[in-house]
């Protein structure tokens, strides 16, 4: 019998997403990852489906059409190439 985990603690969520606990708290604070508070001590719990929606490090961001959305945040190398003085004339087109 295989039990599929549906709820994760902060530590488990961080391990599942391959990020630090600090990143989990940051994502929660920014509203990018919904957290549920339980118990008197108000411990955070995260649903697996919410964790699956968070882009993982190095993962490309995809639009609804399935195409890559190129942004400075998703590809810092391209951001450096796009933002330079030699190509400033193209920015006005």
20: tokens are 């630090």
Please report which helix (H) or strand (E) contains residue 45, including its range. strand 43-47
Q: At what angle do helices 21-30 and 10-17 cross, to 10 degrees?
A: 100
Identify which has the larger pLDDT, 75 or 14.
14
Count of other CB atoms within 10 angstroms of residue 12: 16
pLDDT tens figures, 71-85: 666 666 666 666 666
Residue 81 near residue 75 (C-beta atoms within 8 A): no
Residue 58 near residue 19 (C-beta atoms within 8 A): no
Place of tokens 């411990």: 43
pLDDT tens figures, 38-64: 888 889 999 999 998 886 555 555 555
For the entire predicted model, the pTM comes to: 0.56
Mean pLDDT of the chain: 77
- Domain architecture of the chain: domains with CATH: 1-59 (1.10.1660.10), 61-93 (no CATH)
Is the pLDDT assigned to residue 26 strictly greater than 60? yes
């Amino acid at each position: 019998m295989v039990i599929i985990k549906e709820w994760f603690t902060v530590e488990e969520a961080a391990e599942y997403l391959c990020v630090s606990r600090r990143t989990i708290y940051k994502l929660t604070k920014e509203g990018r990852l919904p957290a549920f508070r339980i118990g008197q001590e108000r411990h955070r719990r995260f649903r697996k489906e919410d964790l699956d929606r968070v882009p993982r490090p190095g993962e490309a961001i995809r639009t609804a059409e399935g195409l890559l959305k190129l942004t400075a945040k998703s590809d810092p190398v391209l951001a450096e190439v796009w933002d330079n003085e030699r190509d400033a004339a193209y920015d006005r087109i």
